[in-house]
Chains A and B, each alone.
Chain A
Amino acid sequence: MIAAVRRQASIYFSFAAMAPKMMLAYSIWVWMEFFVQSMGLVIFVAFWTAVYADQATIGGLDLDQTLKYIILARIFAPLAMNTNMVFRFGTMLREGQIGIELLRPVDFQAANYSVSIAFILTDLVMQIPLAIVGWLLYRFQLPTDPWVWTAFIISALLGNAYVFFFDWILGCAAFFITETWGLSVLRFAIAGFFSGALIPLAMMPDWLRVIATVLPFSQALYVPVGLLSGILPVSDAPTIWLGQIAGILVLGFLSRQVFRLSVRKVTVQGG
């Protein structure tokens, strides 16, 4: 039994191990991303500082809380932005790779989840220099309470899984439309706003906050970063986890059903 689990784990670990190799293959891309992200941070800090010039609080948050949240949200943005399943489905279909992927004797969804997690972990490691720049720009204090970090890590993992299943359902559209560049940009834009990467949900008017709460993206970014930055009380963590687990169960089940039906439309291109 243990040997079988180990064998399975090593198979999915092998899939996951490809991600850092792919992402770090071209160091110039890593440095470019660091530069672009750092520049974004400078813009955000300048913008928010100007916004708060004549205002003590906005949406119940003061400048310190907002800057801390925004910097952390930029650092942890890959949690909501980078599952990238829509784009990956499109690439696999366009290049005919889907034929090989579906023939592998592994669970297709589990293999992709392993790869997705590895991409995000690699991305987060690559965000460390950005965190240093963020700290130098604005010397925010991170919490020392281990319970806050535990709440953050658990809600981040659950929230990311929630988004992964949502993206999986969206990605299945590739079986019908083949080319998914436009759809992946659309998903990126919607997630960028409703995940809380641009502004904290607390500042949104009610109607936008309702949409952000219904969509899963905020569960992977606003919620964990809200816990870490102190915007959300850590005592809410158990309720948050229960909500996330319920979302995972529903979307997890739906994603497998949608894939089962959609894959019948698969066209393996090339020859």
Chain B
Amino acid sequence: MVLRYAGLYGEFLRQRLKVLLEYRINFLVGALSTLVMQGASVLAIWVVMRQVPDLNGWTLAEIWLIYGLLTLSKSINHMFADNLWTLGESYVRTGMFDRFLVRPIDPLFHLLADRFCHDGIGDLIIGLILVFAAAPGVAIAWTVPKVLYLIVAVISGGVIFIALNLITGVSAFWVMDSVPVIRVVFETHEFAKFPLAIYPQAIGILLTWLIPYGFASFVPAAYLLDRGISPAMAWAAPFVAAVLFTIAYRAWLFGLRHYSGTGS
């Protein structure tokens, strides 16, 4: 079954690339645009941080690590699950969602595989640049377990992003246009670009336990840097991601049961 879905994903991806390459310049500019978008924020932080010794005790390299981990997690969501944003506008409202229900594959898989988002490549590149740029400047002994943890943390972060977008995106089955609902929750990830310690405590709790973007950035970075995060807390990331995705998938199934086509 996994192989069948992997093969199907490859086929969807091939078709998507054909569509994207129809407008070649837009394809290239689109991939570049996210790079520049993230680059602008990174440049702004560099401009400020080069003039101060640290941010609440966090050096520039440590902030790169936090920012880079978050951007890598975000890139997974951006590349492979961006279609959750358009569920209401492009599928439910137009009636196009009906075709997912009559095909012999999982509708959620079909929705996600229907559009690989090349804009996310820019996020991936910036995330990698930041983590590699941070590595020599931070006090981390890079052992195999730590590198493995980093990979697990990034994938867990990506799943957390997808799960939160899925939970909010399901609202499309009732309100048609789900973008505002998704965005209100999604934009809180902006907090997680910096050490949570710079915010009021309530925001730190919110970003760790309610909307857990903290597990995609601050928690793994602080653990790797040995800054007060216990191994148990750090390794909770994959479990948080799994629990959140289970909740999200149940919400999706609940939404599916209440879906009624718009007709045509």
Residue in A186, A190, A199 whose beta carbon sits within 8 Å of that of B47 in the complex: A199
A177 and B44 contacting across the interface, CB-CB below 8 Å: no
A40 touches B190 (CB 8 A): yes
Query: With A and B bound together, what is the CA distance between A177 and B23 in angstroms?
Result: 7
* CB neighbours of B29 from chain A (8 A): 177, 182-183, 186
Rounded to whole angstroms, the CA-CA distance of A203 and B184 in the bound complex is: 31
B152 within 8 A of A: no
Interface of B, secondary structure class, is helix
In the complex, chain A residues whose CB is within 8 Å of the CB of B33: 182-183, 185-186, 189
- A249 to B43: give the CA distance in the assembly, Å: 32
Contacts of B170-212 to chain A: CB distance below 8 A: 175, 177, 179-181, 183-184, 187-188, 190-191, 194, 198-200, 203
- B180 shortest CB reach to chain A, Å: 4
User: Count of chain B residues with Cβ under 8 Å from any Cβ of A?
Assistant: 44
Give the Cβ gap from B81 to chain A, nearest Cβ, in Å: 18
**With the chains together, A42 CA to B207 CA distance in Å?**
14
Are A53 and B184 neighbours in the complex by a CB distance under 8 Å?
Answer: no
A37 to chain B, nearest CB (A): 10
Q: B100: shortest Cβ distance to chain A, in Å? A: 24
Chain B positions within 8 Å of A51 at CB level: 48-49, 52, 55
Which of A28-36, A102-110, A228-236, A259-267 binds B? A28-36
Query: Which chain A residues numbered 163 to 198 have a C-beta less than 8 Å away from chain B?
Result: 176-183, 185-186, 188-190, 192-193, 198
Chain A residue contacts of B181, Cβ below 8 A: 28, 32
- A182 and B26 in contact, given A39-B188, A47-B194, A189-B40 (Cβ under 8 angstroms): yes
* B26/A189 in contact, CB under 8 A: no
Q: Are A50 and B30 in contact (CB under 8 A)?
A: no
What's the dominant secondary structure at chain A's contact region? helix
Contact call A203/B183, Cβ cutoff below 8 A: no
Task: Across the interface, name the chain B residue whose C-beta is closest to A28.
Answer: B180
Between A and B, 23 residue pairs with Cβ closer than 8 Å are A28-B175, A28-B177, A32-B180, A36-B183, A40-B187, A40-B190, A43-B194, A43-B199, A46-B194, A49-B198, A51-B55, A58-B48, A178-B23, A178-B26, A182-B33, A186-B32, A188-B37, A189-B33, A190-B40, A198-B44, A199-B47, A203-B47, A208-B47
Residue numbers of A with Cβ under 8 A of B are 26, 28-29, 31-32, 35-36, 39-40, 42-43, 46-47, 49-51, 53-55, 58-59, 176-183, 185-186, 188-190, 192-193, 198-199, 203-205, 208
